[in-house]
Amino acid sequence: MPRRRAGSARAEESATLPANEERDERRKELDASAVQRVFKEMKDLVRSLEGTATTRVSVRAGALEVEVERQPAAPPAAGVAPARTESVSADGVPLMPVLAPLVGTFYRASSPGAKPFVEVGDTVEPGQQVGIVEAMKVMNEITSAYRGVVTEILVGNGEPVQYEQRLMLIDTQGGRSE
């Protein structure tokens, strides 16, 4: 009589199980620490894909399969950060924020040691470059949508930024010609 390997009897047995029972059997084999580890890695992967066109990610680790799907974000208009909310200074002057159009690293200058694009007190015009956000080794120009005076820079050079994070505030009444 031919010898059977111990694993082959189990394989034959599981082949005869209906699909739902087979899935239940695999779930029992998962341990909690493995599941937590896979979920942590999945979260890290999803975070690293923010700001990209990727909308669906699937990960399979042994018997565990995780799939995440998100709605694609509307693309920002040519590097101009949209204004969502305005702030008000202590004097009651409206301050408009320049927002990060994507996740990345904010830079105030074109290269290390170069003069920053803007400083507090500088007057800016619509379309003027005020910074750079690097994402996946691509430098994305950040431009002002407003005419005004830069009143505060909220993010330091080389700091990571999130989508629509405030980068700086602009006093839109300070730059108006009357």
For the chain, list the domains and their CATH numbers.
Answer: 6-69 (no CATH), 87-171 (2.40.50.100)
Helices (H), the chain: 6-16, 19-29, 32-48
Query: Coil, helix or strand for 42?
Result: helix
Q: Report the pLDDT value the prediction gives residue 90, as an integer from 0 to 100.
A: 53
* Dihedral pair phi/psi, residue 44, rounded to 5°: -60, -40
User: Whole-model pTM?
Assistant: 0.49
pLDDT band (50, 70, 90) for residue 155: very high
In Å, how far are 3, 25, 28, 149, 177 from 14, measured between CA atoms?
19, 9, 14, 71, 79
For residue 109, the Cα-to-chain-centroid distance in whole angstroms is 22
User: Which residue has better confidence, 114 or 64?
Assistant: 114
User: Which residue has better confidence, 24 or 177?
Assistant: 24
Residue 101 pLDDT > 80, yes or no?
yes
For residue 62, the Cα-to-chain-centroid distance in whole angstroms is 28
Percentage with pLDDT > 90 across the chain:
36
Q: Report the pLDDT value the prediction gives residue 126, as an integer from 0 to 100.
A: 92
* Dihedral in degrees, nearest 10, Cα atoms 129, 133, 138, 139: 30
Q: pLDDT tens for residues 40-81?
A: 777 777 776 666 667 777 777 777 777 777 665 554 444 444
Q: Report the pLDDT value the prediction gives residue 81, as an integer from 0 to 100.
A: 45
User: Which residue has better confidence, 32 or 74?
Assistant: 32
Residues facing residue 58 across a β-bridge: 67
Q: pLDDT tens for residues 37-51?
A: 777 777 777 776 666
User: Which residue has better confidence, 176 or 27?
Assistant: 27
Residue 83 pLDDT > 50, yes or no?
no
Residue 30: CB atoms within 10 A of its CB come to 14
For residue 23, the Cα-to-chain-centroid distance in whole angstroms is 34
Q: Report the pLDDT value the prediction gives residue 76, as an integer from 0 to 100.
A: 47
Question: What is the pLDDT of the chain when averaged over all its residues?
Answer: 75
The residue with tokens 């209906």 is 18
Q: Report the pLDDT value the prediction gives residue 173, as an integer from 0 to 100.
A: 83
Q: Report the pLDDT value the prediction gives residue 162, as an integer from 0 to 100.
A: 93
